[in-house]
C-alpha cells in the first residue's frame, strides 16, 4: 500500500531516455500504487492540447494504460505545462487538480503544490506567473496558429534560461515564510512539492509542532519518486537507464 509522487520530468523530444524511464516506471512500479500524483512540469513546455507532437501521444497512452489498471492519476500544473488542458487529461486518464490542493493521505491532511508559488523572492517570476494565470490571455494564446505558439514558446524558453542564469540560488528557492503561511492557511503539517529541482526532506517546527516539507527532484540525471505509505514517506532516486 503506497501512493507515488513525481514531478519535473521536463519531457521533450531531445531526451528520449527520460521518456523511456517514465514509461518503464508507469509499466513496472506504478501499477502497484494506490494512486499516482504528478506535481507539474511533466513536459518541458506545452502550447496546447492540439499539438500533434508524437511524444505527447506516447506519454498519454502510457498514463492511460496505468489508469485502466484502476490506479487513479492526478496532475497539478507546473510553470512549464500550465496550459495542459482537459482534452489531454482525458486522453491520459488523469484528473486535473488545483494548485495548491489538500488531499487525505492515509488519514493525514497533506498539502500539494508544484512549488513555484512559494518562490516569493523571485519578484520577476512572480509577476510573470500572475500574468500567465489570466484566463483571457490563455484563451487568446490557445487560439493562435500552432506555428505561432511554437515560436512564442521557444522565445520564452530562451529568455527564461538567460534570466535564471543570472539569479542566485536563494532567490529561486522557496521562501520559508511562504511555506509556513500556506501550511497554516490549509491546516496541514506536511507539504509535498517540486519545481526547485532540489530533492530533500525538510523537518522543521511550525507553531511549536513538527512539520515536514518534501521536495521532489527532476529527472535530468536520475528519476525521483516519493513513495508514501501509512508507515511514512520515502524519497528515492531511480536510474534513467536499465
C-alpha cell at 226: 516519493
DSSP state of 203: E
Question: Rounded to an integer, what distance in angstroms lies between the CA atom of residue 19 and that of residue 39?
Answer: 16
Task: Convert the pLDDT of each residue in 91-118 to its tens digit.
Answer: 999 999 999 999 999 999 999 999 999 9
In the structure, what pLDDT confidence band is assigned to residue 125 with cuts at 50, 70 and 90?
confident
Which residues are known binding-site members for Mn(2+)?
8, 10, 41, 79, 114, 195, 197
In the structure, what pLDDT confidence band is assigned to residue 157 with cuts at 50, 70 and 90?
confident
Beta bridge partners of 211: 204
Pick 16 or 167 by higher pLDDT: 16
DSSP string, 100-133: SEEEEETTEEEEEE-SGGG-TT-HHHHHHHHHHT
Asked whether the predicted pLDDT for residue 169 surpasses 80, the reply is no
Query: Whose grid coordinates read 528520449?
Result: 16
Pick 125 or 60 by higher pLDDT: 60
- The 94-97 sheet, strands edge to edge: 94-97, 73-76, 35-38, 3-6, 222-229, 232-239
Q: Where are the domains of the chain?
A: 2-239
Q: What pLDDT, on the 0 to 100 scale, is given for residue 1?
A: 83
Q: Which of 6-10, 64-68, 121-125, 185-189 has the lowest mean pLDDT?
A: 121-125
Inter-residue contact 95 to 38 (CB < 8 Å): no
Which residues are known binding-site members?
8, 10, 41, 79-80, 114, 122, 160, 164, 167, 195, 197
113: nearest Cα among 125, 131, 101: 101
Helix axes of 54-67 and 16-28: crossing angle, nearest 10 degrees: 10
- Give the chain's end-to-end CA distance (angstroms, integer): 25
Phi-psi sector, 225: left (phi>0), alpha (psi -120 to 50), beta: beta
In the structure, what pLDDT confidence band is assigned to residue 144 with cuts at 50, 70 and 90?
very high
Task: Give CATH for domain 2-239.
Answer: 3.60.21.10
Asked whether the predicted pLDDT for residue 221 surpasses 70, the reply is yes
Q: What pLDDT, on the 0 to 100 scale, is given for residue 199?
A: 96
Pick 13 or 172 by higher pLDDT: 13
Q: What is the pTM of this model?
A: 0.94
Quote the mean pLDDT of the chain: 93
Q: What pLDDT, on the 0 to 100 scale, is given for residue 107?
A: 95
Pick 242 or 32 by higher pLDDT: 32
Which residues are known binding-site members for substrate?
79-80, 122, 160, 164, 167, 195
In the structure, what pLDDT confidence band is assigned to residue 156 with cuts at 50, 70 and 90?
confident
Asked whether the predicted pLDDT for residue 24 surpasses 60, the reply is yes
Please give the average per-residue pLDDT across 72-99, as a whole number.
Answer: 97
Asked whether the predicted pLDDT for residue 189 surpasses 70, the reply is yes
Secondary structure element (H or E) that encloses residue 238, with its range: strand 232-239
Q: What pLDDT, on the 0 to 100 scale, is given for residue 171?
A: 66
Amino acid at each position: 500500500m503506497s501512493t507515488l509522487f513525481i514531478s519535473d520530468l521536463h519531457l521533450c523530444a531531445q531526451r528520449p531516455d527520460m521518456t523511456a524511464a517514465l514509461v518503464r516506471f508507469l509499466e513496472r512500479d506504478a501499477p502497484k500504487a494506490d494512486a499516482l500524483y504528478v506535481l507539474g512540469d511533466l513536459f518541458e513546455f506545452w502550447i496546447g492540447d492540439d499539438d500533434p507532437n508524437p511524444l505527447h501521444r506516447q506519454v498519454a497512452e502510457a498514463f492511460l494504460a496505468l489508469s485502466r489498471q484502476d490506479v487513479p492519476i492526478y496532475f497539478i500544473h507546473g510553470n512549464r505545462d500550465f496550459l495542459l488542458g482537459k482534452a489531454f487529461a482525458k486522453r491520459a486518464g488523469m484528473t486535473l487538480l488545483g494548485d495548491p490542493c489538500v488531499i487525505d493521505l492515509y488519514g493525514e491532511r497533506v498539502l500539494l503544490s508544484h512549488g513555484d508559488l512559494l518562490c516569493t523572492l523571485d519578484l520577476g517570476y512572480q509577476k510573470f506567473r500572475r500574468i500567465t494565470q489570466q484566463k483571457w490571455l490563455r484563451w487568446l494564446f490557445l487560439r493562435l496558429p500552432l506555428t505561432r505558439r511554437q515560436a512564442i514558446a521557444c522565445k520564452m524558453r530562451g529568455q527564461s534560461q538567460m534570466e535564471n542564469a543570472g539569479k542566485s540560488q536563494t532567490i529561486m528557492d522557496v521562501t520559508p515564510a511562504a511555506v509556513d503561511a500556506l501550511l497554516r492557511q490549509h491546516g496541514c503539517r506536511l507539504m509535498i512539492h517540486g519545481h526547485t529541482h532540489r530533492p530533500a526532506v525538510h523537518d522543521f517546527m511550525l507553531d511549536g509542532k513538527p512539520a515536514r516539507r518534501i521536495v521532489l527532484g527532476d529527472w535530468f540525471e536520475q528519476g525521483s519518486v516519493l513513495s508514501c505509505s501509512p508507515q511514512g514517506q520515502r524519497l528515492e532516486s531511480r536510474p534513467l537507464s536499465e
